[in-house]
Amino acid sequence: MNIQFFGAAGEVTGSCYLVSGGGVAFLVDCGMFQGGSDARQKNLHALPFDVRRLDFVLLTHAHIDHSGLLPRLTMLGYKGPVYTTAATVDLLRVMLLDSAHIQEKDAEWELRHRHRRRASLRGSPQPLYSVTQAMESLKCLRAVSYDEPFSPHPDVQVRFLDAGHILGSAIVEIRAGGRRLVFSGDLGQPGRPVINDPTPVREADVLVVESTYGNRLHRPLAETEAELVEAFRRTLREKRGNIVIPAFAVGRTQELIYVLARLVRDGRLAPLRVHVDSPMAKAVTQITLHHAGLLDDETRELIDWQRRHPHQLDVHFVADVMESMALNDVREGAVILSASGMCEAGRVKYHLRNNLPRPECAVLITGFQAAGTLGRRLVDGARSVRIFNQQVPVRASIHTIGGLSAHADQAALLGWLGHFRKPPARTFVVHGESAAASAFADAIRDRLGWPGVEIPAYRSEACLW
């Protein structure tokens, strides 16, 4: 049995692993590359194998860097099932169509831009996939419950466990040939609000584990909340500006609403009106409430409080483009949550263009920013950034609120690994930029004493057993 690493090897995005041997072949994840000048070319040339020979696909969760190339997979001829959790199925019905819409709009913008520049056209710009193609890929989805083993192939048994990362996220446990292969997927930080902690795993012959924050520790939640309170106080009360929060529509938006509700309930923030300017975030919030059984007890209690006190925290979902544009006329007091979380697409780019030049405003970065993204440039202290082909000065204050990450930090990752009764024979460290993956691999060897810890290269192949 072999594994090939077609993404998230030496970087965070593009998760895609091909496992084959013993008469079976399948993918774990089929993610899009994001950020960097070469992301589009990597997406165009991803999946460099005959997809028609795949027996099935297993999907850890709905984030686009794990699911976003499913439409291309079906475009290339894959007709088989894609197994994932029920919540992930519901999320993908929103997210893949949104991704396709962005692909189409980006292609239209590029074509208009070429015409304006009278640039030579070497073929019309094409989206990675269309909305129609994304809809076709949804037909492959098959919902599976947590903790219930199933057999996608006569020689393979699979079980999904709660990864505690976002709604519906899963650790994947695979049994084949008398061996056990485990993919951590993206693991959540224990003790964080909204969803449950990651499920411990006791055994694996081979482990593939993420390392997004493998070289650092998150700020404690109490410190994070104190920083949020101070940023809100200075920006809204003292400087009388606006706050823009780029937020992933899945997970981060809902967690931020939870944190703000708790701070208002506890009297640490004055009553707030929060504009959630993301149609996808609205849909995802509705899906989250539909799957309330996956939320932790504290979150369900806070949802009840907010419903009883709607004027304490007034969460307003922006209805349409015209209402979104009207926020540009608000000069002070606006709190705007908008996707995308890495500032690469969507309505948040308009809000950044409008508020970044204003020193009285603030931008709160609350999630991981991949190398090459607009969000990463802001975190790294850029004095100006390019948005919609215009240079925009950065005069607003930039706050990196690291304690809200949906990813486990190094201590949490090591804590999750500490539940294994014995070390796996081989451990592959993936889904981390080189420094993070290297530091985490060293920590596994030095602190846990595990042998056989490797950092695979992009498109490399390894024998599992």
Q: For residue 398, what pLDDT is reported? A: 96
Q: What is the pTM of this model?
A: 0.88
Instruction: Evaluate if residue 120 carries a pLDDT over 70.
Output: no
Q: Of 359, 380, 404, which marks where a domain is finished?
A: 404
Same domain for 357 and 442, yes or no, is no
- 248 & 377 share domain: yes
Q: What is the pLDDT of residue 125?
A: 77
Domain edge (last residue) among 355, 373, 404: 404
pLDDT of residue 118: 62
Do residues 354 and 440 share a domain? no
User: Does residue 320 sit in the same domain as residue 456?
Assistant: no
Strands (E), 324-409: 335-338, 362-365, 384-387, 390-393, 397-400
CATH code where residue 238 lies: 3.40.50.10890
| pLDDT score, position 262 | 94
- CA–CA separation, 99 and 97 (whole Å): 5
Worst-scoring range by mean pLDDT, 57-61, 132-136, 192-196, 231-235? 192-196
Q: Do 207 and 306 fall into the same domain? A: no
Mean pLDDT of the chain: 93
- Domain range for 331 is 221-404
For residue 192, what pLDDT is reported?
83
pLDDT per residue as tens digits for the range 151-183: 999 999 999 999 999 999 999 999 999 999 999
User: Which of these, 159, 215, 219, lies nearest to 189 by C-alpha position?
Assistant: 219
Domain tally, the chain: 2
Which residue would you say has higher pLDDT here, 371 or 337?
337
Residue 338 scores a pLDDT above 90: yes
Same domain? 314 vs 417:
no
pLDDT at 35: 78
Q: Are residues 18 and 36 in the same domain?
A: yes
Model confidence over 257-302: pLDDT tens digits?
A: 999 999 999 999 999 999 999 888 999 999 999 999 999 888 999 9
The residue from 365, 380, 404 where one domain ends is: 404
248 and 353 co-located in one domain: yes
Burial class of 366 by CB neighbour count within 10 A (0 to 12, 13 to 18, 19+): buried
